[in-house]
Every structure is written in structure tokens, then in C-alpha cells.
């Protein structure tokens, strides 16, 4: 079966611009989570969507937003980019029902964002 | 709040030997799941093993086993018969069923190097 697909793989943006990243989960997976990975901060939770509803949100400023569509595909948007937003952004999907956590994430390959 | 602590930034093991990667956790959720992921140098995160907080037996998946000690809040990963391909960064993570539903917290990771 197809894995989690993230596009684009690489992105270079200028400070002040905005960016939209896309994630297509594994077919049938209703939960999509986003993480930011940096060498200094490790893996930081951004938000999670389940059946088009944001179920939980991490401690990121309002410049970071996301959404999930009816086909479970998800997008995240970062507005007014800052140099510190340079990171690997990982999307992960899981099969879990609401409240169930027994299956692990399947991660995409990530989007490497560089802000210059 | 959830917290994962991995105290070993780097570990070395001889090929074919067993190795234990440490993980301790803290959470306010009464029920939760614990996970281990592997991230090779290629960057993609790979789910290895899951342990539920109410599971009576330690989880095993092939050469991976999770040594779960609930009272000590520890969830160590044991890799038996190490292979060169096991060289990677390993992350311990947890996800709550209730108050933190949908949010996973990751540790800082342990870099494992398998020596021939």
C-alpha cells in the first residue's frame, strides 16, 4: 500500500513569506499529526487532526496553522516565516479510532524547509 | 503534561550483541501508549514497537522487546543480536488516551552505533 506522502520534499523560502506543506496519509487513516524536527529542539508536536477536527495543538505561535480535508489529506501553513522556522517538518498518520492509541505512526519522508 | 527522558545521547554495541536503550516517562494520563521509533540517516522515522499502559506482558516484535516497568515509569527498548543496519537514532515516545489524545511526546533520542 502507498505510504504517507509529503510534498514538497525540499523548500527554500525568504523571511516574511508564507508556505503550505501537504500530507497525504495512508488510505483509511483518519489521524494526521505534524511535527517539527530540529537539531536543537528535537521533535516538537505541532498539531493533530482526526476526522477534520483539530484534536490537539502544540506550543507554537499562531503563525503555524493546519487543516484536514474530508479525504484525510492535511495541510499545514506557516505565515510570516522566520529563520528559526528552518526545520524538517514530518507528517504522520495512524489508524486509531477516537481515543485509541494502539497503533504507531507511519511517517512521511518529511519536508525540509529552509528560510533564508 | 507528558515528558519523555532518554539519558543516553549515544550508545555503542558490538555486532550480534544485545543492547538496551533507556527511556523514562511522566504523564498525567491514567492510560497511555509507549512507542519506539528508529530514524536512520536517511531521515524517515520507522515505528518499531508499542506498549499499552495496561498491558500485562512486555511487547515484543522480532528482535525488539520493550522492558516495561510501570511503577518505575520506564520503557526500555532491548535490541537482541544487533546488526549493522540497526545503527540509527532511536526515539521513545508516548501518547495519552484522554487529556493528551492525539498528541505524542518524543524524547531527545539515542544514537546507536553498531560496530562490526
Within an 8 Å CB–CB cutoff, is residue B25 touching chain A?
Answer: no
At B17, is the pLDDT very low, low, confident or very high (cuts 50, 70, 90)?
Answer: very high
CA distance A16 to chain B (A): 28
Measured CB to CB, residues of chain A less than 8 Å from chain B are: 31, 33, 35, 42-43, 45, 48, 50, 55-56, 58, 88, 90, 92, 98-110
CB spacing of A45 vs B105 below 8 angstroms: yes
Spatial separation of the C-alpha atoms in residues B114 and B54, rounded to whole Å: 33
CA distances from residue B104 to A76, B12, B33 in whole angstroms, order as listed = 18, 27, 9
Q: Is the pLDDT of residue B60 over 90?
A: yes
Half-sphere exposure of B105 (CA within 13 A, CB side): 20
* Phi, psi of B75, deg, nearest 5: -145, 70
Site from A41, A101, A102, A113 to mutate, B interface, most B CB atoms within 10 angstroms? A101
Q: What angle do CA A5, B4, A104 make, to 5 degrees?
A: 35
d(CA B108, CA B101) in angstroms, rounded, equals 21
Count of beta carbons in the 10 Å neighbourhood of residue A79: 14
Query: How far, in Å, CA of A47 to CA of A67, rounded?
Result: 9
Distance between CA atoms of A112 and A92, rounded to whole angstroms?
A: 15
CA distances from B21 to A38, A73, B112 (A): 22, 35, 9
For residues A8, A14, A17 and A19, what is the CA-based torsion angle, rounded to 10 degrees?
10
Residues A96, A28: Cα–Cα separation, whole Å = 10
Q: Looking at residue B100, what is its pLDDT?
A: 66
Q: If pLDDT is split at 50, 70 and 90, which confidence band does A95 have?
A: confident
CB contact under 8 A, A107 and B44: yes
pLDDT for position A103: 75
From the list A105, A96, A52, the residue with the least C-alpha distance to B101 is: A96
Confidence of residue B72 (pLDDT cuts 50, 70, 90): very high
Amino acid at each position: 500500500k502507498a505510504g504517507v506522502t509529503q510534498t514538497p520534499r525540499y523548500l527554500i523560502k525568504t523571511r516574511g513569506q508564507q508556505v503550505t506543506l501537504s500530507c497525504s496519509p495512508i488510505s483509511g487513516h483518519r489521524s494526521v499529526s505534524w511535527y517539527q524536527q530540529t537539531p536543537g529542539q528535537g521533535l516538537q508536536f505541532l498539531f493533530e487532526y482526526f476526522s477534520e477536527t483539530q484534536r490537539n495543538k502544540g506550543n507554537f505561535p499562531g503563525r503555524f496553522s493546519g487543516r484536514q480535508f474530508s479525504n484525510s489529506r492535511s495541510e499545514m501553513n506557516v505565515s510570516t516565516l522566520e529563520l528559526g522556522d528552518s526545520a524538517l517538518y514530518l507528517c504522520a498518520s495512524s489508524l486509531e479510532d477516537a481515543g485509541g492509541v494502539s497503533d504507531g505512526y507511519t511517517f512521511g519522508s518529511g519536508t525540509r524547509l529552509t528560510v533564508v | 503534561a507528558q515528558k519523555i527522558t532518554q539519558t543516553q545521547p549515544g550508545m555503542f554495541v558490538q555486532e550480534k550483541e544485545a543492547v538496551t536503550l533507556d527511556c523514562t516517562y511522566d504523564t498525567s494520563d491514567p492510560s497511555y501508549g509507549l512507542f519506539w521509533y528508529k530514524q536512520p540517516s536517511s531521515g524517515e522515522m520507522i515505528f518499531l514497537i508499542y506498549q499499552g499502559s495496561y498491558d500485562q506482558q512486555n511487547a515484543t516484535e522480532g528482535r525488539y522487546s520493550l522492558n516495561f516497568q510501570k511503577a518505575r515509569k520506564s520503557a526500555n527498548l532491548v535490541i537482541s543480536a544487533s546488526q549493522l543496519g540497526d545503527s540509527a537514532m532511536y526515539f521513545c515516545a508516548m501518547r495519552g488516551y484522554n487529556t493528551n489524545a492525539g498528541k505524542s511526546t518524543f524524547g531527545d533520542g539515542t544514537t546507536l552505533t553498531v560496530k562490526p
